[in-house]
Amino acid sequence: MKHILSLAFAQEQYNFDEEIEFFNEKYRITQYSTNFDVKLTEEIIKKYDGVCDVICISGLPPKIKFSKGFFLHPDAYKIKTSAKFTTIVDGQIIKDVYIPHALRLFYLKNNGVISKKKIGFYSAALQKSFVEVLEDLENSLVMADPYFLLKIPVNLYSSKSLNQFLKLLSPVFKKMKIKKTNVPSFDDKKRKMKKALDEFLSCEVLVGNEANINFLDLSHLKGKTLVIDILSPNLEEKLKKAGLKDAIICMPQLSQYSKINYSILEGILQIKKGSGSPIKDNDVIELVEELKLSPELKTYNSNLDEVVTFSFVIHPLSGAQVFKHPLLRFIKQDYAKLLQTGVEELLSLSPGLFYGKIKGIKSEKNGRVVEGLIYAVTETPRKLMEKEPDVIYRKILKLCEKSALAGSKIIGLGAYTKIVGDAGVTIDRLSPIPVTTGNSLSSASTLWAAKLAIEQLGFVSKIGSYFQGTVMVIGATGSIGAVSAKILALSWEIVILVAPRAYKLIELKEEILKINPLVKIIVSTDANSHLSSADLVITTTSGQGKTVLDIMKVKPGCVICDVSRPFDISEEEAIRRPDVLVIASGEVQLPGELEMKIDIGLEGTIVYACLAETALLAMEGKFESFTLSRNINYEKVLEIDKLAKEHGVRLSQIMGHNGFITDEEINLCREHALNKRKENLS
C-alpha cells in the first residue's frame, strides 16, 4: 500500500492516520496539521523523507507568477525543498489546470451566477487560478489583497494592477512571516477604514479558500455566494450557520472523500506516475476526465423574506391592443381603428419598453413573495414574423439587460417573442440572466384544460383518476405531441398515436410502454380512420393551416385540444360542429393577492401559463434556463407540473379560439352532443 504524508500547514487540530480507498486503490494517509509552524513542518518532513511515497503540503502560499518572474515566499521555498528523497507536491498544478476549466464549465451551465457580477477576492494573489477566468466572464473584480496581506485598506481592480502590486511589494512579503495572526478580520464592527472594505463586502460573490476563510469571522458572508475550490464538511457546517446563501464548489466529488484535498489528489497522481517524473498539465486533464470532475452549486440559506423579481416580455397581440397602453387610452376606438396600421408600423420602430408590474404573488409552498416586471416589445405578431430575427433578438436582449439591472433573476418570453428565430436559444446565450420560454407549463396547463373540459362534459367515465376512454394525439412524434402522449398515457385507457411517419410512431410506442405498460396504444398514420372512437383529440402539427382531420367524423361530445399555432382547426370548421368542444389552451391563476394594474390581454388577474412558469421558477429559486427552443421535455413538464401544484398555480380558464370558454358554452355543447348521440342511435 502506498503511503502519503499530508501536512496541513494552515490548519490545526486535524491529525489522522488512516487507510482510505480512492477509485479502487488503497492508500495510507497520515496527516499532521502544523498550524503555521515552519520549523515543525520541516522536522516532520525530515522524519518522513524517504520513508513515505509522497509528501503533500496544503495551505502554503503558492508560487505567484507575474509577467517577468515569480514570487515565492522564502518559508514556502524552504519547506518545499526540504526533502531529499521523497517528492513534495502542493496541489498547485491541479488548481492551475482544473479551476479555470471548472469555472468555464459552471458558467456554461448556469450562466447567471458568475458572469457580469461584482466579485470579491479575499486574496487574489493566493488564488490566481480564479482571477483570469472570472475576469474573462465580464465580471468586475474587487481584490482585497492589500488589506488581506498588509492590512492596507485599498482594493485592486484588475489582474494587471495586482501584478504591479505584488511586484512592487515582494521585498516586503519576503520579510514577513507566514502567521495565523497576520490574517486580518473582515468583521463589520471592528473595521476602522470603512470605504474600501465596504466596497469589498458589497460584492455578491466572494472567492476564497479554506485556508483564507477558516480564520475569519464569517458573519460578513450572510446572503453571499462563495466560490471555493473545495469544501470540507466542517467548514460547510460553519458557513451554513453563518448564513451563506450558496456556494460554488469546484471539486464537489472530493467532498465524499473527506480526507482528500487538492494536494493529496496531486500526490495520488504523482504516485500513479511514479516519482521522478514531474506532473504535467496533460496528466491533470486525463485525471479530470477519468474522475469526471465537475463543479456544483449548493444552496444553503435562500432568503425567503427578500422579494424576488422576474421579468416577462410581451407584445401587442394586434394593432388594436396598442391603444390599451395607459398613455394611449385617451384615443377613442373609432379613431384608433383608422390609425391602427400606421401606428403598428410606426411603433415597431420604437425600442422595447417597460410596461408595468405584477405585485403580490405569494407562493403557497414557501411563502416567498415574487414580483413580475412586464416589458413589451412593440411589434404585433405580423411584424414579429416579418422582421429579421436578429433585429428582434437585439430588441429583446436590450430588455434582458434592462431587467437584469432592475434586479430580475430570470426572464420569460411571452407569446410570439418565443417563436422568433431559434426560440430563445440565442437570446439565452447572450442574455445576462437566464431565459425561459414557458412552454413546459403551457403544455401542462393545456392538458389541465383538456382534463377539466372532459370532466365538465362528463361523457367519459372515470375510475379513480383513470379515464375509461380513448385519446388521440395527432402529430404525436413532434416534441409537444410526444410529451402530451406520454403524460396522457398515465391517465387514459387507450391512446391513439397519429403521425405521418410510421417508424417514429413505433419508437414512441415503445417509449410510452416503458412509462406505463398497462395502457393500450394504437398507432396510425391516418387520423380519420380512428377519429370516431376518440373522446379527446390533441392536435399538434406543423400543418400551417392544412386540414389534418375531418371534423364531421368526430364523435359527438368530443373535446379537441388544438395546440398548434396557427390553429389546425379553423373557426369555420369549429362552428360546423356545435356538439364538439374545441379548446386552444389553459390560462392560469397565480397564488397570492395579485395587484395588477396592467392589461396583458387577459381578464382580471388571469395570466398566461408561460408567465406563470417564469413566476414559478422565481418562487422556487430555480434561476435557470428551464425551457428553451421549440422542443419540450417530458421530465421538465412533469417537474413544472409538480412545482405548480406545490406553489399554488392553478388552472383558471379554458381558452377557445376567441377567448375564454364559459360554463354556459360547455353546457350548450353538452346538450348538442346528447341530441346528436340520440340521433345517431335512432
Interaction site with another protein (CB under 8 A): 12-13, 15-17, 30, 32, 34-35, 37, 39-40, 43-44, 47-48, 51-52
Query: How many CB atoms sit inside 10 A of residue 75's CB?
Result: 21
Query: Which residues neighbour 301 within 8 Å (Cβ) at sequence distance 6 or greater?
Result: 222, 223, 240, 243, 244, 245
CB 185 within 8 Å of CB 163 = no
Closest distance of CB 43 from another protein, Å: 5
Closest distance of CB 169 from another protein, Å: 29
Q: Strand, coil or helix: what is 19?
A: strand
Closest distance of CB 96 from another protein, Å: 31
Q: Measured between alpha carbons, how far is 199 from 195 in angstroms, rounded to an integer?
A: 6
Q: 48 or 106: whose CB is closer to another protein?
A: 48
Q: 11 or 380: whose CB is closer to another protein?
A: 11
Q: 37 or 422: whose CB is closer to another protein?
A: 37
Closest distance of CB 52 from another protein, Å: 8
- Encode 482-502: b = buried (16+ Cβ within 10 Å), e = exposed: bbbbbbbbebbbbbbbbbeee
Query: How many CB atoms sit inside 10 A of residue 610's CB?
Result: 28
CB 7 within 8 Å of CB 32 = yes
Query: How many CB atoms sit inside 10 A of residue 654's CB?
Result: 27
Closest distance of CB 45 from another protein, Å: 12
Q: 34 or 524: whose CB is closer to another protein?
A: 34
Query: How many CB atoms sit inside 10 A of residue 44's CB?
Result: 18
Closest distance of CB 40 from another protein, Å: 3
Q: 16 or 335: whose CB is closer to another protein?
A: 16
Q: 44 or 606: whose CB is closer to another protein?
A: 44
CB 392 within 8 Å of CB 363 = no
Closest distance of CB 178 from another protein, Å: 14
Q: Cell numbers at residue 406, please? A: 432592475
Closest distance of CB 12 from another protein, Å: 8
CB 395 within 8 Å of CB 296 = no
Which sign does the torsion angle of CA 219, 223, 225, 229 carry?
positive
Q: In terms of Cα–Cα distance, which of 529, 520, 474 is closest to 497?
A: 474
Query: How many CB atoms sit inside 10 A of residue 356's CB?
Result: 18
One-letter amino acid for residue 501 of the chain? R
Q: 215 or 354: whose CB is closer to another protein?
A: 215
Residue 680: Cβ-neighbour burial (10 angstroms; 0-12, 13-18, 19+)? exposed
The secondary structure of residue 222, as a DSSP letter, is B
Query: Across-strand partners of 310?
Result: 372
Q: Strand, coil or helix: what is 276?
A: coil
Closest distance of CB 7 from another protein, Å: 11
C-alpha dihedral (232, 238, 240, 244), degrees to nearest 10: -100
Q: 37 or 96: whose CB is closer to another protein?
A: 37
Q: 30 or 629: whose CB is closer to another protein?
A: 30
Query: Across-strand partners of 8?
Result: 33, 58
Q: 39 or 520: whose CB is closer to another protein?
A: 39
Q: 18 or 679: whose CB is closer to another protein?
A: 18
Q: 40 or 339: whose CB is closer to another protein?
A: 40
One-letter amino acid for residue 587 of the chain? E
Q: Cell numbers at residue 126, please? A: 493566493
Label residue 387 left, alpha or beta by phi (over 0 means left) and psi (-120 to 50 means alpha). Answer: beta
Q: 13 or 256: whose CB is closer to another protein?
A: 13
The secondary structure of residue 387, as a DSSP letter, is S
Closest distance of CB 3 from another protein, Å: 9
Q: Measured between alpha carbons, how far is 542 from 127 in angstroms, rounded to an integer?
A: 53
Q: Strand, coil or helix: what is 207?
A: strand
3-state helix, strand, coil in the chain (%, to 5): 40, 20, 35
Closest distance of CB 148 from another protein, Å: 22
Q: Measured between alpha carbons, how far is 199 from 260 in angstroms, rounded to an integer?
A: 35
Query: Across-strand partners of 6?
Result: 31, 56
Closest distance of CB 15 from another protein, Å: 6
Closest distance of CB 17 from another protein, Å: 5
Q: 52 or 596: whose CB is closer to another protein?
A: 52
Strands (E), 575-636: 581-583, 585-589, 595-596, 606-607
Closest distance of CB 190 from another protein, Å: 18
